[in-house]
Structure 1
Amino acid sequence: MARGVYIHIPFCHQICNYCDFNKVYFKNQPVDEYIEAVGKEIEMAVSQTPEQFQQIETIFLGGGTPTALSAKQIERLLKLIGASLPTKQLIEFSSEANPDELSEDKLEALLAGGVNRLSMGVQSFDQTLLKKLGRTHANEHVFETIKQAKKAGFENISIDLMYGLPGQTMDQWQDTLERALDLDLPHYSAYSLIVEPKTIFYIQYAKGKLHLPTEDLEAEMYDLLMRRMEDNHKQQYEISNFAIEGRQSTHNKIYWDNDEYAGFGAGAHGYLKGKRYSNIGPIKKYIESINNNELPILHRHEVTNEEKCEEQMFLGLRKNDGVSFEEFETKLGVSMKETFGNEIAKLVREGLLIEDEKGVKLSRKGRFVGNEVFQQFLLGE
């Protein structure tokens, strides 16, 4: 049964140099037709398996950029969502947003349609770095948009930051952190840059033209991030996420809990009835599938018990609370210690994991090398 719903809006007015998500330039795209197709996909899925959607807790509008849509398009999208999904019972209804796209009428449309949380892509407060990233907003857009969002009635606002950027210095990162913390928001996400294939940064990296900070400098940036968030009473609850009490991202916790969720839209991914699936990516082919009254699922994969055990560990260990022995056995029918006893003992000896009577979690040292820790729980390796 789905705890959450992800809806993909693949349109952008500007393509960022680091982004590998399914996206296209907004101009000359069948945007209105796409919105209708998403509404129809949701309607078809809910009508086929209504029991899967009775207890959803969250909806997340991602992209691309949902706020690339006009206010009228946002209004129409949210109306279609509300026609098929029980939006009034939601704990959290989030939308990603760009600071230079959130006009007053869009904010009103989002709020009227049930959205109660904004996740804004700020990334940096250094204009030189923003230009390198392919971002189009200025710092003034961030400050003004947050002010307008609060005035409109949004209390739950998060911003994304990035470190380990090309040419980024510690001074630049510290300045971005301080400006972000001065906003005193309830939630912050901060991610180190990963150079993904099929991105502009990847092409530059392959040509030797992308000059990244050293691993040591990136580790220092992460250390500063954790210290400054703690100093400002923003509790770290996941490797890259910090919040005041009660403002942790419920939707993202669904992923880290390895629970089921539905994905709608071109290129969206979902996890239902023990199967992971992905939708058709090209927008016209996606719309064509919907118009033929067919769910646009491209791939399905039934997750094996071994894979479920692996995922429970490497997703759950992202959380500061880690993975519970009891929850692992209740959910998967096997003991964590019997399945991963040797791996756990090794990582505890190395100071990367902490084990107590409840379960296991990353140590502070382990957070710096999380991916290396997670790899230890791949049974097929």
Structure 2
Amino acid sequence: MALGIYIHVPFCLGKCSYCDFVSYRWEPDKVRSYLGALAKEVKIRGRKMPGNYKQVESLYIGGGTPTCLKGEEILFVIKKLLFYFDLLPGAEISLEANPGTVGMEKLEFLHRAGINRLSIGAQACQVRLLKLLGRKHSFEDVRDAVRLARKAGFRNISIDLIFGIPGQTIGDWNESLRRVIELAPEHISAYGLHLADGTPLYEIVNKGKLDILEEENELEMYERAIEVLTDAGFEHYEISNFALPGRQCRHNLLYWRNLPYLGLGPAAYSYLNNRRFGNVKSLEKYIQRIGEGKLAEAESEKLSQRIRMAETVILGLRLLKGINLNEFALRFGKRLDEVYPQQIDKFVKLKLIEHDGRIIRLTRKGLAVSNQVFVEFV
């Protein structure tokens, strides 16, 4: 079975105020040590992986800010991976990129290296909101990054936006949607802001220095995103994701379909052979363990069929097309509506789920309160 591979690059030029991902300030010595350890982890994993997991249909390099690395360093990672794994023809190879960290020369190099999809973090287009989020770029930098990427040969570009930012108005959100659509990307992600405990932005809000948006304001922004983006020709295929026809993120579809993936690098998680495991978060410990010839796993859990069914439902309902009941039955030997009859009956009556005998999916009303639905399947 082909799988997806995620590589975590834990470096940034500066930490965003809302980010709780594992990342460290970019330093050349740390980068060199990390790349050496990553190459060894690829070798260890590659030698241990059974043949049916050697074929790769998607590679996603995320972070952090992968593009704070040199092009040659990113190519080094790809080459090491290709020595032990086989990228299938037409495989999707995605790279997260921050505006301001990509110039023409680097983009041309990355395109020649095989990167065929860029995910650019715009987040907002208003200076005051970008400053609040701790972003180091302007929207003009986003526009320049897209223009240069097109010139370098990229034909698959995704742009991230965030709504629900303290102080953000519906007018701000409309402007961000409009200006991003004008850049003509193939894919747009529109995420509600998650205030993670321990982040600078969380602390500011927690101390009462900023007010979070009212729930109805966030809902209005979400509904507006659906309306504006679908009118612009984007398919709303996942709760927070919109794509032109045929341009869905294939790597993330593996996650939402609860299919196997391998994570490499500090804090990266994997799901293989019904086991979920994650690497240590500390860069220092990651480098140390890999240097000793060991894997860097910090936690591991063998998932029971009950847990795998629940996670398949929760992840699958994120997709607008929902869950195919026959495919679920073939996978688990049980029909979904036989495993969760009470939950499905409840949410059908509340008009949060549609059940037509073949497919179960969230309704438009259910999309807005999806977490309330998901928790019932845990």
Number of the residue aligned with 1:247: 247
CA contact (8 A) 1:17 1:132 kept: yes
Q: Which moved more, 1:320-329 or 1:72-81?
A: 72-81
Number of the residue aligned with 2:166: 166
Number of the residue aligned with 1:232: 232
Number of the residue aligned with 2:223: 223
The DSSP-based 3-state class of the residue aligned with 2:340 is helix
What's the offset of the Cα at 1:338?
1.4
CA contact (8 A) 2:94 2:119 kept: yes
Give the Cα–Cα distance (whole angstroms) in 2 for the partners of residues 289 and 351 of structure 1.
51
Over the matched positions of the two proteins, sequence identity in percent amounts to 39
The DSSP-based 3-state class of the residue aligned with 1:361 is strand
Number of the residue aligned with 2:76: 76
Structure-to-structure mapping, 1:1-381, within 5 angstroms = 1=1, 3-27=3-27, 29-87=29-87, 89-378=89-378
Cα 1:220–1:230 shift into 2, 3 Å: same
One-letter identity of the residue aligned with 1:115: I
Give the Cα–Cα distance (whole angstroms) in 1 for the partners of residues 101 and 320 of structure 2.
34
The DSSP-based 3-state class of the residue aligned with 1:96 is strand
CA contact (8 A) 1:87 1:114 kept: no
- CA deviation vs aligned residue, 1:173-202 (integer Å, no higher than 9, x gap): 111010011112110000000111221122
State how many pairs are aligned.
378
TM-score (norm 1): 0.96
- CA deviation vs aligned residue, 1:215-244 (integer Å, no higher than 9, x gap): 001000011100001110101000000011
The DSSP-based 3-state class of the residue aligned with 2:56 is coil
One-letter identity of the residue aligned with 1:179: R
Q: Which moved more, 1:323-332 or 1:157-166?
A: 323-332
CA contact (8 A) 1:189 1:241 kept: yes
**What stretches of structure 1 of length at least 5 have no aligned partner?**
none
Q: Which moved more, 1:198-207 or 1:367-376?
A: 198-207
TM-score (norm 2): 0.97
CA contact (8 A) 2:100 2:141 kept: yes
What's the offset of the Cα at 1:46?
1.0
Question: RMSD between aligned alpha carbons?
Answer: 1.3
The DSSP-based 3-state class of the residue aligned with 1:321 is coil
What's the offset of the Cα at 1:74?
2.1
Give the Cα–Cα distance (whole angstroms) in 2 for the partners of residues 293 and 8 of structure 1.
19
CA contact (8 A) 1:3 1:56 kept: yes
**What stretches of structure 2 of length at least 5 have no aligned partner?**
none
The DSSP-based 3-state class of the residue aligned with 2:75 is helix
